[in-house]
Amino acid sequence: MTDYTALLADLNALLRIKTTVIGMQLFETVAEMEAIPRIRRPKTVHTTDQIVSMASRMGWTVGITQADLVGQQCGAVIGLAPRDEEGARYVGVWHGDAESAAARQQALTCVPHGKYAAMAVSPLESGRLPAPKICLVYATPGQMIILINGLQYRNYRKFEWSVVGETACADSWGRALATGEPSLSLPCFAERRYGGVPDEEMLMALSPADLAVAVEGMKVLAKNGLRYPIPPYGIQMDPSLGMGGSYKKT
């Protein structure tokens, strides 16, 4: 088990994150999940968005199976249920025809069904998850671009992310769990209505290793004067002085 205290202290110092950074882990057996220290089990059904927010907004460690979720869609994204390929229930709600509903369902990035029986989330700093697959970082757009810049400081890669619309958790934790790649999303209606995600927050799901890479990159950027919060320079000012401070020749 990794001690995340120093990593999260650096992250919070660099970005002033408001919402608790959490870990998410999938388990092949329910017994493995229930062995986590101080694990809470739901007493009624919930959306996965609510379960995630119990950890990120309330600091709880929560474990679930498909039986704890309100429907197939929530479980399918994290591999606890098979994907509904047709999405008939969304016709006339999120889509105007069956073809659009089916296309959205098939566009979702989901963990393959059949391997995992349970999932747990917990504040990353608690160390209760034995091997979190991903971290979930909620941040404002300004904080998020600095986090992304940190990821790109060394071994640069262009990130291209998806927007499926509703069920945006497939763009974040679904994609990150399935691919291992950093995955940014615009939290959807359900995440905001049921999960309580504020208007100003975006969500990045990434591995603990990538979070460490981002933090190290942001440390160097901060030394270069490229840090959060980003102070407005003034829309009518000559930018030469400000840019000269960043790009001066040595």
Tell me whether residue 242 is in a domain.
no
Tell me whether residue 238 is in a domain.
no
Q: Read off the pLDDT of each residue in 35-41 and give the average, rounded to a whole number.
A: 97
Does residue 29 carry a pLDDT above 90?
yes
Half-sphere exposure of residue 199: CA atoms within 13 angstroms, side-chain side: 0
Q: What is the pLDDT of residue 219?
A: 98
Strand partners, 122: 23
Tell me whether residue 234 is in a domain.
no
Tell me whether residue 240 is in a domain.
no
Q: What is the pLDDT of residue 66?
A: 98
Q: Read off the pLDDT of each residue in 151-165 and give the average, rounded to a whole number.
A: 97
Rounded to the nearest integer, the mean pLDDT of the chain is: 96
Tell me whether residue 95 is in a domain.
yes
* pLDDT tens-place string over residues 58-90: 999 999 999 999 999 999 999 999 999 999 999
Q: Read off the pLDDT of each residue in 131-152 and give the average, rounded to a whole number.
A: 98
Tell me whether residue 244 is in a domain.
no
Q: In angstroms, what CA-CA distances link 7 with 2, 122, 133, 171?
A: 10, 16, 16, 25
Query: How many folded domains does the chain comprise?
Result: 1
Q: What is the pLDDT of residue 246?
A: 83
Does residue 250 carry a pLDDT above 90?
no
Does residue 123 carry a pLDDT above 80?
yes
Confidence of residue 175 (pLDDT cuts 50, 70, 90): very high
Tell me whether residue 237 is in a domain.
no
Does residue 91 carry a pLDDT above 80?
yes
Tell me whether residue 211 is in a domain.
yes
Q: Strand 183-185 relative to strand 118-123: parallel, antiparallel, unpaired?
A: unpaired
Q: What is the 3-state secondary structure (H, E, C) of 72-112?
A: HHHHHHCCCCCCCCCCHHHECCCECCHHHHHHHHHHCCCCC
Does residue 135 carry a pLDDT above 70?
yes
Q: What is the pLDDT of residue 249?
A: 63
* pLDDT tens-place string over residues 205-243: 999 999 999 999 999 999 999 999 999 999 999 998 888
Domain that holds residue 68: 5-229
Share of the chain above pLDDT 70, in %: 99
